[in-house]
């Protein structure tokens, strides 16, 4: 594809939204079983169904050629995939050549081992999913994780010069008493904190109705105790950010339930099997794996054109007793959040 073609055919959906952000789930596997994300007993994909690193790189390159400037690697837990640093290095070679940023979301369990290599490959920012600072509560939420491993990973990442942001799923009656301590801890270490509303994806190990905490409510409560100033800061994703005067740090809010962010959606999500999900809260998808394997790069490009025609306007998540079942059957780990 020529440079002229690249400029002429950006990825723009039928609502005029430019798709500049690709999230790639490199594996559905994870070494945790977080209660809001997965069932305790999961069946994972056979290897033959998972995209190879070469296929991921080919798909990523096709996106970059058509104007995608940010890529985030997710899972499952991306750092449990064997030789993951090879893929990070390959994708990192696109930085400065159409790709502005390569980032990663991790549970932190393997971060101590990989932090230095991630930084060397060109990653500058990492999101660490962490819902509690209490050892016993951490074990209960993750069902099998060790908080000490995550803390060691955070230490290693900061020592490697990586900028960190903590992602915390806010759950009423589970960890809502820790939100202010988590904010003080994160900001005290120079890290941002982003709070996320629970989403009704897949059968999991928590009562979503009882645990649902609207972040509008939480924001109002925090605003009574702290000086919050809305920031223009955007990092390519759906979070809205406030500056907290008392801590000097940044507090983010991701609100797919109480205030969806669909009007400005610039994202699509590639699963480990090559399904391109066009909305986290809908089933609209395009099979990029089959397009690539059966028709090569021309078919892949045509599939991206089709994806822009069917990307939905938005999602319509609801959590209440009348509709307590998941909005979608797939687990969060399939699409990487």
Binding-site residue positions for S-adenosyl-L-methionine: 36, 76, 129, 199
Beta strand 70-74 with 101-106: parallel, antiparallel or unpaired? parallel
User: Cα–Cα distance between 110 and 221 in angstroms, integer?
Assistant: 35
The number of angstroms, rounded, from the C-alpha of 120 to the middle of its chain's C-alpha atoms is 22
Beta strand 125-129 with 101-106: parallel, antiparallel or unpaired? parallel
| Distances from the Cα of 111 to the Cα of 38, 152, 199, 330, angstroms | 21, 8, 26, 27
User: Cα–Cα distance between 55 and 46 in angstroms, integer?
Assistant: 16
DSSP 181: H
* Residues tagged in the binding site annotation: 23, 30, 34, 36-37, 72, 76, 105, 129, 165, 199, 262, 265, 267-269, 279
| Distances from the Cα of 258 to the Cα of 174, 192, 221, 317, angstroms | 19, 22, 15, 9
Please give the full DSSP string across 82-127, using - where no structure is assigned: TTHHHHHHHHHTTBTTTB-EEEEEE-STTHHHHHHHHHHTT--EEE
* Residues tagged in the binding site annotation for [4Fe-4S] cluster: 30, 34, 37, 262, 265, 279
* Residues tagged in the binding site annotation for GTP: 23, 72, 105, 165, 267-269
């Amino acid at each position: 594809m020529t440079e002229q073609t690249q400029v002429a055919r950006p990825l723009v959906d039928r609502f005029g939204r430019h798709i500049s952000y690709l999230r790639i789930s490199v594996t559905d596997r994870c070494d945790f079983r977080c209660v809001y994300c997965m069932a305790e007993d999961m069946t994972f994909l056979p290897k033959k169904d998972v995209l190879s690193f070469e296929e991921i790189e080919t798909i990523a390159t096709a996106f970059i050629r058509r104007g995608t400037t940010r890529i985030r690697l997710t899972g499952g837990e991306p750092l449990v995939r064997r030789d993951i640093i090879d893929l990070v290095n390959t994708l990192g070679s696109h930085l400065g050549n159409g790709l502005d940023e390569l980032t990663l979301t991790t549970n932190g369990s393997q971060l101590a081992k990989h932090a230095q290599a991630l930084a060397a490959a060109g990653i500058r920012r990492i999101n660490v999913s962490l819902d509690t600072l209490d050892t016993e509560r951490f074990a209960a939420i993750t069902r099998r994780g060790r908080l000490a491993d995550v803390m060691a990973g955070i230490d290693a990442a900061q020592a490697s010069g990586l900028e960190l942001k903590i992602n915390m799923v806010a759950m009423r009656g589970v960890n809502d008493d820790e939100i202010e301590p988590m904010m003080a801890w994160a900001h005290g270490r120079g890290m941002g904190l982003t709070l996320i509303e629970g989403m009704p994806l897949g059968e999991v190990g928590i009562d979503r109705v009882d645990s649902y905490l609207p972040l509008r409510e939480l924001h109002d409560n925090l605003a009574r105790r702290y000086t919050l100033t809305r920031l223009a800061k955007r990092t390519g994703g759906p979070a809205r950010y406030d500056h907290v005067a008392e801590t000097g740090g940044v507090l983010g809010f991701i609100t797919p339930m109480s205030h969806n962010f669909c009007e400005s959606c610039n994202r699509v999500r590639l699963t480990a099997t090559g399904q391109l999900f066009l909305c986290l809260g809908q089933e609209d998808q395009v099979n990029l794996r089959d397009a690539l394997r059966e028709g090569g790069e021309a078919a892949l490009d045509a599939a991206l054109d089709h994806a822009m025609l069917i990307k939905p306007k938005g999602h319509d998540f609801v959590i209440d007793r009348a509709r307590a079942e998941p909005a979608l059957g797939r687990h969060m780990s399939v699409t990487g959040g």
